[in-house]
Chain A
Amino acid sequence: MKAIAGSAFLFALIFATAVHLVVVRYQHKQLYMELHHLRHQQDELDQERSQLLLEQGTAGAHLRVEAIARTKLNMTPPNTGQLMRVYP
């Protein structure tokens, strides 16, 4: 009687852990997929950031800025005589 009860208990434990294992594996798979997805998203955002930085850097390159300032906006740098220093 005792032996049967013991075996039943162990069997129940085995069954429980087996089910648990399945659940954990499933969760692991789900989480991994999510991680993968997030990494992918991170990569894409990184890519976009670096391209925006690059665009900013290219648009703000002094060669280009000066070209636009001189030709389109007709600007020239001030000489020292045109600068005024204000002392507090």
Chain B
Amino acid sequence: MKAGSWLAARAQRVRAYFNFSRRAFVLFTFCCTAVLLSWHAINLQLSERDFLEDKGQERYEVKLPTDAHRGMVTDRNGEPLAISTPVNSVAVNPSELVKHRDRWNELGKILDLSPDYLDAILLPRAQRSFFYLKRHISPDVAVTLKAAGIPGVNLIDEYRRYYPSGEVTAHILGFTNVDDRGQEGVELSFDSTLRGTKGEDLVIRDRLGRVVEHVERISDVQPGKDLALSIDRRLQYVAYRELKAAVQKHNADSGVMVVLDAETGEILAMVNAPSYNPNNRADAKRENFRNRTVTDLFEPGSTIKPFTVAAGLESGRFKPTTMIDTQGGQMRAGTVTVTDSHRAGMLSVSQVIQKSSNVGVTKIALAIEPDLFWGVLNRAGFGQSSGIDLPGETPGQLESYRDWGAADRVTLAFGYHTNITAVQLARAYGVFASGGLLRPVSVVKQSTVPEGTRVISEQTAIAVREMMKTVIEKGGTAEAAAVPGYTVAGKTGTTRRNNGSKGYEEKSYRSLFAGFLPANAPKLIGVVVIDNPQGSEYYGGLVAAPVFSTVMQEAARILNLTPDRPEDRGTVPPRFAAWTQPTNQIAAQNP
């Protein structure tokens, strides 16, 4: 009992001894570890906190962009002219895809890509993780591809722009590139309005890339705004059809036509031939992308004569009935010999316009002060930009009267030595149509009639308008511009083409017609320019005027203009151009 209690006591002492040192050791170790750990924790917390937090978040938080839908472009009646529709693009992860070479054949078959092409394009990029294999595939291909579920192949939502009217509206609308940015035309000049802004959301994704949680909205998506143009799709089509037919018939280099609303300055139709299909530009010639109505300058030729005569009337020295001796159609003015194609003797100012007498207008120009002549041209927008809301406008060229040489005043009288675009010419003709006011032009639908600036007195404008009516009547230079049922005022022009350094070319002409109807209360202004028509017919009255006539005849019917000459019922059937098979159906891939 005694020995047993001793042993027990000893054991207890021993235990206590070991317990203490062991405990101390363990405690010490733990303390050290705790201190070290807390030091590290403090260190991480204080000095590397931001870095580590960022790194952590990067692994699960993702900024997810939302594409903005590009706004629709419509005509003045709300008919769609340019629509964005979502399509898929195929993005591949080459580093993933090379592990599944057995499925390349299948991929190639779906996307219509040859195995050689896939090898050539994917193998050099085997280290990369993103590559656009094919942009903008059709919806049914997308469905097949999705169903195939090939690893490393992803479909990305994008938008593609379609133009239902194809080549008819190609130049005015322009087009967007593969990244949905405007490149030409309205698509370019109104890009910021149409584009909208991308939205961004911060989300948390799991390992497989599924969105688990929406953290916050960084920015709202702002869809692009729709844009209503001043264009009337029906008029645009008629103008394009007739112009294209005329360019083909006369084997001309190119042609343009502009139709303007005489009351508001809005562009109702603006066409170029040859055109291109904006839905499939692969085979299009780049030179045809240019909207010649705003970029190409030409000498207005005889279409300037109404302005020369207007300046003459403004000077007070001429009246519409004042007689001018055209000397049998030939005169010398300084170094220039002026000739008329229709020889005549004494002509009234009105007949000078009707017969388009160069001698007649030369005499008028020489009789008035240069600054007055220049003033009328300048105020009518010659030598300036029209300010139209389309990209790439070339300003007109008109030298100041202070720099005019002896010949300039003479050649200007019948439209040489100055350059103008079709749009600028149409705008200038608005002066006669509106009773002496110059209005701004635009391709966007206007809600109010813009203010005009006075160019000539109303009296002068109406007097010149009366003269321009005689051009279309029997004995005028443009009987072919007549529109059954309506009075028409206009002026033809035929110019020799000036080929820069080579000077004026032999047998290379430009046919022009500018006019408006109904002549007494103008509603539509039209300008037709046909460049380099081949063959025996090249006069503006024979090449450009018929285009004006047919387009205006249909335009008047479409817009329901009241005929102001109802007694003329147009017994001849309208000269509708030979109809040709449409060539610009939207690419076959379109749904």
Q: Contact residues of A with B, CB < 8 Å?
A: 28-29, 32, 35-36, 43, 46-47, 50-51, 53-58, 60-64, 66-67, 70, 76-77, 79-81, 83, 85
24 of the cross-chain contacts (CB-CB < 8 Å) are: A43-B157, A47-B85, A50-B83, A50-B84, A50-B85, A51-B85, A51-B591, A54-B162, A54-B164, A55-B591, A57-B83, A57-B165, A58-B590, A62-B238, A64-B582, A64-B585, A66-B241, A67-B581, A77-B557, A79-B484, A79-B572, A80-B574, A81-B484, A85-B563
User: Closest approach, in angstroms, between the C-beta of A76 and any C-beta of chain B?
Assistant: 8
Do A61 and B570 form a contact, CB below 8 Å, given A51-B85, A85-B563? no
Say yes or no for B569: interface residue by CB 8 A criterion. Answer: yes
**Most A Cβ at <10 Å: residue of B85, B165, B214, B571:** B85
Is there an interface contact between A79 and B86, defined as CB atoms closer than 8 Å?
no
Q: Taking A63-B582, A83-B557 as contacts, is the C-beta distance between A77 and B576 under 8 angstroms?
A: yes
Given the interface pairs A57-B164, A63-B237, the reply to whether A77 lies near B86 with Cβ below 8 Å is no
Q: How far is the CB of A24 from chain B (nearest CB, A)?
A: 13
Most A C-beta atoms less than 10 A away, residue of B164, B553, B576, B579: B164
Q: Are A62 and B80 interface neighbours, CB within 8 A?
A: no
Other A-B pairs beyond A36-B214, A62-B165, A62-B234, 7, CB < 8 Å: A50-B84, A56-B164, A57-B165, A61-B164, A61-B166, A63-B582, A63-B584
Min distance, Cβ B413 to any Cβ of chain A, angstroms: 37
The docked-state distance in angstroms from the alpha carbon of A67 to that of B582 is: 8
B86 touches A50 (CB 8 A): yes
B-chain residues with CB within 8 Å of residue A77 when the two chains form the complex: 554, 557, 574, 576
A36 to chain B, nearest CB (A): 7
Kindly supply a per-residue 1/0 record for chain B positions 236-274, scoring 1 wherever the CB is within 8 Å of any chain A CB and 0 otherwise: 011001000000000000000000000000000000000
Q: Is B233 an interface residue (CB 8 A)?
A: yes
- Complex: A23 Cα to B190 Cα, angstroms: 48
- Contacts of A70 on B, CB cut-off 8 Å? 579
Tell me which residues across on chain B come within 8 A of A66, comparing CB atoms: 241, 579
| Binary contact track B150-170/A, C-beta < 8 Å → 1, others 0 | 000000010000101110100
Which B residue sits closest to A39, measured CB to CB? B66
Whether A32 touches B168, Cβ cut-off 8 Å, given contacts A55-B591, A79-B572, A80-B484, is no
Majority SS of interface residues in chain B? loop
In B146-188, which residues have CB < 8 Å from any A CB?
A: 157, 162, 164-166, 168
Q: A62 to B162, Cβ gap below 8 A?
A: no
Closest Cβ of chain B to A52, distance in Å, is 9
Number of interface residues of B (CB under 8 A): 47
Q: CA of A51 to CA of B79 in the docked complex: distance in angstroms? A: 14
User: Are A62's CB and B168's CB within 8 A?
Assistant: yes
Interface residues of B (CB under 8 A from A): 69, 72, 79-81, 83-86, 157, 162, 164-166, 168, 211, 213-214, 233-234, 237-238, 241, 484-485, 553-554, 557, 562-563, 566, 568-574, 576, 579, 581-582, 584-586, 590-591
B162 surroundings in chain A (CB, below 8 A): 54, 57
Taking CB atoms, residues of chain A closer than 8 Å to B573 are 79
Residues of chain B within 8 A (CB-CB) of A47 are 85-86
Note all chain A residues with C-beta closer than 8 A to B574. Answer: 77, 79-80
Complex contacts, A60 vs chain B, CB 8 Å: 79, 164
Nearest CB in chain A: distance from B158 CB, A: 12
Contacts of B563 in A (CB 8 A): 80, 85
Measured CB to CB, the nearest residue on chain A to B575 is A79
B582 touches A32 (CB 8 A): no
- Beta-carbon contact of A79 and B570 below 8 Å: yes
Which of A50, A61, A80 has the largest count of B CB atoms less than 10 A from its CB?
A80
Q: Which chain A positions have C-beta within 8 A of B168? A: 61-63
Most buried by B among A46, A51, A53, A63: A63
In the complex, how many angstroms separate the beta carbon of B474 from the nearest chain A beta carbon?
Answer: 18
Report Cα–Cα, A81/B483, bound state, in Å. 12
Smallest CB gap from A35: residue in B:
B214
Please state if B83 and A29 are interface contacts (CB–CB under 8 Å).
no
Chain B neighbourhood of A28, CB < 8 A: 214
What's the Cα separation between A84 and B309 when bound, in Å? 39
CB B277 to nearest CB in A, in angstroms, measures: 11
With A32-B213, A58-B590 given, is the CB distance from A80 to B164 under 8 Å?
no
CB <8 Å contact, B570 and A54: no
Indicate which residue in A53, A54, A76, A80 contacts B485 across the interface (CB closer than 8 Å). A80
Of all chain A residues, which has the CB nearest B203? Answer: A32
- In the bound complex, CA of A50 to CA of B72 (Å): 9
B572-A54 in contact (CB<8A): no
